[in-house]
Amino acid sequence: MSKAQHEEFRDYVAARGPTLLRAAMLLTSDRAEAEDLLQSALAKTYLAWDRINDRAAVDGYVRRAMVNTQISWWRRRKLEVYPTDELPEQPVDDHTRRSELHDALGRALDKLPKRQRLAVMLRYYEDMSEAEIADILGISVGTVKSTVSRAMAKLREDAALEHDFAGAVPAPHPHGDHAGDD
């Protein structure tokens, strides 16, 4: 790999690393494992860097490498849970509410016009800067700001979304932000 390609790869990792780490966290649910997974996928990407002609497809390449690596790790793991006739005393987390909230948010985003939905997804799901979004969508930074602002206002006013999220976010303390100062 040439020095220019090495620098290009380093710049890519610096720019996209946090977003890719969040994707790894979704695959592993553990920060340390996510960091290991991302490092492994980036090592594979580094070795293939000169063969990746479409730089816009690099995120997809890294994500696919993470998925394939995670599947490989799952297959290699020894059985860590042994069957038993006795049930453990530890409660198991119920992820139903989180899944319901995810579905509700997806429905709310689907109600937004396409450009607003894209701007919100790029800003908050992909953690892109306003300048990056402007470049991708071919609009000005000011338009990105106003588009995201309008989209967020619509989401705040969505009665169905408010109903779906009722109880998911703790209510503010009646006497301001100083709940523990009584």
Which residues does 53 contact at the CB level (< 8 Å), separation at least 6?
Answer: none
- For 1-19, how does the pLDDT look when each residue is reduced to its tens digit (9 = 90+)? 788 888 999 999 999 999 9
- For 131-156, how does the pLDDT look when each residue is reduced to its tens digit (9 = 90+)? 989 988 889 999 999 999 999 999 88
- CA proximity to 151, closest of 102, 125, 114, 126: 114
pLDDT tier at 86 (50, 70, 90 boundaries)? confident
- CA proximity to 152, closest of 142, 164, 141, 144: 144
Mean pLDDT throughout 11-37?
A: 91
* Number of other residues whose CB lies within 10 A of the CB of residue 27: 19
Percentage of residues in the chain having pLDDT higher than 70: 81
6 near 14, Cβ under 8 Å? no
| Residue 181 in this model has a pLDDT that exceeds 50 | no
- For 100-137, how does the pLDDT look when each residue is reduced to its tens digit (9 = 90+)? 777 887 888 888 999 998 898 888 888 888 998 998 88
| Residue 179 in this model has a pLDDT that exceeds 60 | no
CA 75 – CA 70 distance, rounded (Å): 9
pLDDT of residue 173: 46
* Token digits of residue 52: 């990746």
Q: Cα 174 from chain centroid?
A: 33
Q: The pTM is what?
A: 0.46
Among 12-21, 49-58, 92-101, 138-147, the least confident range:
92-101
Mean pLDDT throughout 150-175?
A: 68
